[in-house]
């Protein structure tokens, strides 16, 4: 009875929230339902766990979930998915409540859930998915996660011999889970025009099998690329099951299993999301690459990390990064560096304010290689954001930028940021900052300051 009360309450609450705002309410109904019935998610009926797919990992969860769902829907499959990125138990409870009948029955071909890696054991306890894609396991949100091993231990609580894993072939920590699963499917990306190497003073990490140093032949995305451990032989496969090849930035195309695909976003971190999605769609859901290819023609990612604004005669290219996450910062830097035309670089790394205590952390910037940006024809740098701007400037100085080429602004004042952008001779502006400042900048432009 508790379940029904919780379900009806969540449904009503979902409808009410939806009337106020369609963008809200992705977590709240489920959270409230879980307070009424703590095993709420476990009590839904008709879920075939072999049709449930978790998509977890540090980076790329949302995009992969969005793409898998899109491909399957385009192929007329009935999908239940948490597309809005509500990836905790409450978010999953919300979507299940919304999709279920009044008696708690669900009817779908597949259940595709983005799952927060930290809360995976809690989610799995109520929804024992038999399939899981691990995008990658990287340094991220250290204030709550500490180090990657902290997350690996969380995943170890869940991965079991009954599971099918879909694993990033070129990311050692994810690959290591192959030892536990009953079946592993591997996906990867071949060398492309924006693959890169880093100097010997950029650390890699330890082999998850033997603790010795890992080597990477090159990186397709920071910390991800063909790897090997000389000590124990642990290495990426030369030909994973699903390998993206022939990446062509000019034609916006790539191939997988000899099928040609349109590339909806030519951003290197998306390539692994493409490969992983295609692996899930064929290996778990039976949608062959030929059928999946059509869906790439009209794929629009929700909440992407790249946005372009027009301000006066200037183009502002905004790249959203995840705080405390060197891999997303490196990806953004690589995108900037690949543009050799004159540019202004505005960097607004910021105080980490996810929860109390807010704290200053820009140290992940030292894991990133700024030199390609420094060598990419930068007219001027702007380091802004209260309390961290000096550290950001210092990071640039340590990669060879002259102090005189940097404007340091210990502030997040939008007018001051635009005043500096106005001073730039170039019309090509690259911007990295947190979403809140970006949204204010967007409003500033929309408010007629254009």
Partner 1 sequence: MQQMIKVGWLFNNMFNLHGDRGNLLAIRAEGERRGYRVEVEQINLDTETFNPIDFDFLFCPPGEIEHFEAVAAYLEPHRKELMDYIETRPMLVTGTSVGLFGETIKRDDQSTIRGLGIIEVKTRENHVVYGDDLYYSCRYNGKEMDIIGSQIQMLDLDIKEESPFGWLKYGYGNNGETRFEGVISGKGMFTNTLGPVLVCNPWLTEEIINLIEANKHWPVWEEPRDNTLELESLKTKIAHINKKETRLKKLGER
- Gap between the terminal Cα atoms of the chain: 58
Min CB(146)–partner 1 separation in Å = 4
Please state, in angstroms and rounded to a whole number, the distance separating the CA atoms of residues 271 and 190.
10
Question: Sign of the C-alpha dihedral, residues 195, 200, 201, 205?
Answer: positive
CA angle at 109 for the pair 107 and 110, rounded to the nearest 5°: 105
Min CB(114)–partner 1 separation in Å = 23
Please state, in angstroms and rounded to a whole number, the distance separating the CA atoms of residues 262 and 252.
6
Q: Which stretch binds partner 1 (CB under 8 A): 159-167, 196-204, 236-244, 251-259?
A: 196-204
Q: Which stretch binds partner 1 (CB under 8 A): 49-57, 94-102, 194-202, 298-306?
A: 194-202
Tokens standing for 449?
């300051």
413 binds partner 1 (CB under 8 A): no
145 binds partner 1 (CB under 8 A): yes
Per the DSSP assignment, residues forming a β-bridge with 278 are none
179 binds partner 1 (CB under 8 A): no
212 binds partner 1 (CB under 8 A): yes
Binder among 165, 181, 393, 401 for partner 1 (CB under 8 A): 393
Peptide bond into 426 cis (omega under 30): no
Please state, in angstroms and rounded to a whole number, the distance separating the CA atoms of residues 81 and 110.
9
Min CB(405)–partner 1 separation in Å = 14
Consecutive H or E run containing 348: strand 343-348
CA angle at 332 for the pair 267 and 251, rounded to the nearest 5°: 25
Please state, in angstroms and rounded to a whole number, the distance separating the CA atoms of residues 330 and 278.
25
Please tell me the count of residues contacting partner 1 according to CB under 8 A: 50
Tokens standing for 223?
């910390």
205 binds partner 1 (CB under 8 A): yes
Binder among 29, 104, 172, 326 for partner 1 (CB under 8 A): 326
Contact characters 334-353, partner 1, x per CB under 8 A: -----------------xx-
Binder among 83, 397, 414, 445 for partner 1 (CB under 8 A): 397
146 binds partner 1 (CB under 8 A): yes
Min CB(161)–partner 1 separation in Å = 22
Please state, in angstroms and rounded to a whole number, the distance separating the CA atoms of residues 263 and 261.
6
Tokens standing for 151?
């997350």
Min CB(436)–partner 1 separation in Å = 17
Among residues 42, 66, 70, the alpha carbon closest in space to that of 55 is found at 66
294 binds partner 1 (CB under 8 A): no
432 binds partner 1 (CB under 8 A): no
Please state, in angstroms and rounded to a whole number, the distance separating the CA atoms of residues 162 and 46.
20
Per the DSSP assignment, residues forming a β-bridge with 316 are 309, 429
149 binds partner 1 (CB under 8 A): yes
Residue closer to partner 1, measured from CB, 141 or 248: 141
201 binds partner 1 (CB under 8 A): yes
- CA dihedral of 63, 65, 66, 68, whole degrees rounded to 10: 120
148 binds partner 1 (CB under 8 A): yes
387 binds partner 1 (CB under 8 A): yes
Min CB(159)–partner 1 separation in Å = 16
Min CB(408)–partner 1 separation in Å = 8
Binder among 15, 16, 237, 363 for partner 1 (CB under 8 A): 363
The residue whose two tokens read 């902290």 is 150
Consecutive H or E run containing 393: helix 389-397
Residue closer to partner 1, measured from CB, 293 or 351: 351
Contact characters 227-256, partner 1, x per CB under 8 A: ---xx-------------------------
Residue closer to partner 1, measured from CB, 204 or 377: 204
Let me know: does 117 contact 88? Beta carbons within 8 Å: no
Please give the residue ranges that form the binding site for partner 1 (CB under 8 A): 139, 142-150, 200-206, 211-214, 230-231, 326, 351-352, 356-361, 363-367, 386-387, 389-391, 393-395, 397-398, 403, 408, 410
């Amino acid at each position: 009875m508790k379940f029904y009360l919780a379900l009806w309450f969540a449904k009503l609450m979902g409808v009410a929230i939806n009337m106020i705002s369609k963008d809200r309410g992705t977590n709240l109904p489920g959270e409230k339902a879980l307070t009424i019935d703590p095993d709420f998610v476990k009590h839904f009926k008709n879920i075939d766990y072999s049709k449930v797919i978790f998509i977890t990992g540090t980076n790329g969860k949302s995009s992969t979930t969005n793409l898998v769902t899109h491909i399957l829907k385009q192929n007329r499959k009935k999908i239940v998915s948490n597309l809005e990125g509500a990836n905790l138990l409450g978010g999953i409870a919300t979507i299940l409540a919304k999709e279920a009948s009044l008696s708690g029955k669900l009817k779908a071909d597949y259940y595709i859930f983005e799952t927060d890696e930290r809360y995976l054991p809690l989610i799995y306890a109520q929804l024992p998915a038999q399939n899981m894609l691990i995008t990658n396991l990287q340094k991220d949100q250290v204030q709550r996660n500490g180090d990657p091993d902290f997350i690996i231990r969380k995943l170890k609580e869940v991965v079991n011999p009954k599971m099918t894993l879909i694993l990033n072939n070129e990311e050692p920590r994810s690959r290591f889970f192959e030892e536990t699963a009953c079946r592993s499917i591997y996906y990867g990306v071949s060398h492309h025009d924006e693959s890169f190497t880093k100097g010997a003073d950029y650390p890699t990490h330890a082999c998850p099998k033997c603790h010795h140093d890992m080597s990477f032949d090159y990186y397709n995305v920071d910390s991800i690329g063909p790897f090997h451990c000389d000590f124990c032989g642990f290495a990426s496969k030369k030909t994973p099951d699903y390998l993206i090849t022939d990446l062509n930035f000019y034609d916006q195309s790539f191939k997988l299993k000899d099928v040609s695909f349109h590339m909806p976003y030519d951003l290197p971190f998306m390539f692994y999301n493409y490969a992983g999605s295609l692996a899930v769609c064929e290996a778990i859901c039976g949608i062959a690459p030929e059928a999946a290819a059509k869906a790439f023609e009209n794929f629009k990612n929700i909440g992407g990390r790249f946005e372009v604004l027009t301000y006066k005669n200037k183009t502002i290219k905004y790249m959203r990064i995840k705080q405390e996450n060197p891999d997303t910062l490196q990806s953004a830097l690589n995108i900037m560096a690949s543009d050799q035309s004159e540019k202004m670089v505005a960097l607004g790394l910021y105080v980490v304010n996810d929860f109390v205590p807010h704290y200053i952390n820009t140290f992940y910037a030292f894991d990133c290689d700024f030199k390609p940006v420094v060598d990419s024809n930068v007219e001027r740098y702007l380091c802004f954001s209260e309390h961290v701007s000096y550290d950001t400037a210092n990071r640039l100085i340590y990669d060879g930028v002259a102090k005189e080429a940097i404007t340091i602004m210990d502030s997040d004042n939008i007018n001051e940021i635009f005043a500096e952008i106005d001073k730039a001779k170039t019309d090509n502006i690259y911007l990295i900052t947190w979403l809140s400042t970006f949204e204010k900048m967007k409003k500033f432009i929309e408010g007629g300051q254009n």
